[in-house]
A and B are shown apart, each in its own frame.
Chain A
Amino acid sequence: AQKITQTQPGMFVQEKEAVTLDCTYDTSDPSYGLFWYKQPSSGEMIFLIYQGSYDQQNATEGRYSLNFQKARKSANLVISASQLGDSAMYFCAMRQETSGSRLTFGEGTQLTVNP
């Protein structure tokens, strides 16, 4: 069974600093995808970044990058130059090739950016 673990219930960072949100996963499927979503207090789910298991390079999207360590089964999200608007809940999720579009989510990390 696939499983996603986010071990940091809450994280704090100073504005303009970088922060890493941890995510480890467990799967026996050789083909899978990893996603990060942001959920602000307003409740919507916002897609941030995607990494495929066969991608050779770490994914980047603006200030977001994914530190993908396949052997360790980790897919940490790095946010550079944090902004106050980054304060939100962040979810890591995984999809396996054999499970179609179904996503398995971690329990999330609440990030607070301090001025």
Chain B
Amino acid sequence: NAGVTQTPKFQVLKTGQSMTLQCAQDMNHEYMSWYRQDPGMGLRLIHYSVGAGITDQGEVPNGYNVSRSTTEDFPLRLLSAAPSQTSVYFCASSRGVGEQFFGPGTRLTVL
């Protein structure tokens, strides 16, 4: 099993550009989440999903969209990138409400 995979690992955007961060898991987990981690801080929840076709907002959803068309994939879309979205983005998945498995992260810089 590959676990949770994220692409790309690094990305540089200009203000106003859009892009999609990819996340996939091969563990058949129903729960998937996106977090962001700013320097010196813990992770904050952006969006999450409890199953295919079901998504909801987390703590810091503004500027981001998600969709969950399959159990495996949970892409995060930045609609119009801003410097405040410079961060490290982590995707996570879990079976039920137990341990969350994290992907390796995507380091995003918005100029």
Contact = CB atoms under 8 A, between A and B. Distances in A.
Interface of A: 4, 33, 35, 37, 43-45, 47, 50, 91, 93, 95, 97, 100-108
B40 A101 contact: no
B94 interface: yes
A100 B50 contact: yes
A72 B3 CA distance: 36
Given A45-B102, A100-B31, A107-B41, A95 B97 contact: yes
A35 B99 contact: yes
Nearest to A1: B59
Give the most central of A37, A43, A102: most B CB within 10 Å.
A102
A105 B58 contact: no
Interface of B: 31, 33, 35, 40-45, 48, 50, 58-59, 88, 90, 92, 94, 96-102, 104-105, 107
B110 to A, nearest CB: 19
Contacts of B48: 100-102
A101 B100 contact: yes
Interface of chain B, helix or strand or loop or mixed? Answer: strand
B42 to A, nearest CB: 3
B42 A91 contact: yes
Contacts, number: 64
Contacts of A103: 33, 35, 43, 45, 92, 100
A44 B99 contact: no
A23 B108 CA distance: 29
B98 A50 contact: yes
Given A43-B105, A100-B50, A101-B31, A108 B41 contact: yes
A91 B48 CA distance: 20
A4 B42 CA distance: 10
A44 B105 contact: yes
8 contacts: A33-B98, A47-B99, A93-B43, A95-B97, A102-B33, A103-B35, A103-B100, A108-B42
